[in-house]
Amino acid sequence: MIGARIETRRYRYPTAEPVLQAVDYFLWALQRTYEKHEDRFLELIWPQCSLVVDVDDTREAEYGTYYTKQKPLKAAALKVS
């Protein structure tokens, strides 16, 4: 194995990696829910989410609030600062 070449792939643009696009959309939808209190984009992908932890919302427990499929994250339920 001495001198064997290891092929690596380097992408310059997220369009080359669909997984990065999916993560970017999810994070954007979360940001929009928290900042603009608009959850319609998050609702589209919520069935694929298993857990979102809001560590800043300590109204229910000191470790934060957990949102799951059974307890979805909704803009109306968010803590207003």
pLDDT single digits (tens) 14-71: 677 788 888 999 999 999 999 999 999 999 999 999 999 999 989 889 999 999 999 9
Handedness of CA 30, 31, 35, 37 (dihedral sign): negative
pTM: 0.73
Secondary element (H or E) of residue 66:
strand 65-67
> Shortest CA distance to 75 belongs to which of 60, 62, 52?
52
Distances (CA, A) of 70 to 8, 32, 38, 46, 59: 41, 21, 20, 11, 19
Q: Domain map of the chain by residue range?
A: 14-74
DSSP 53: E
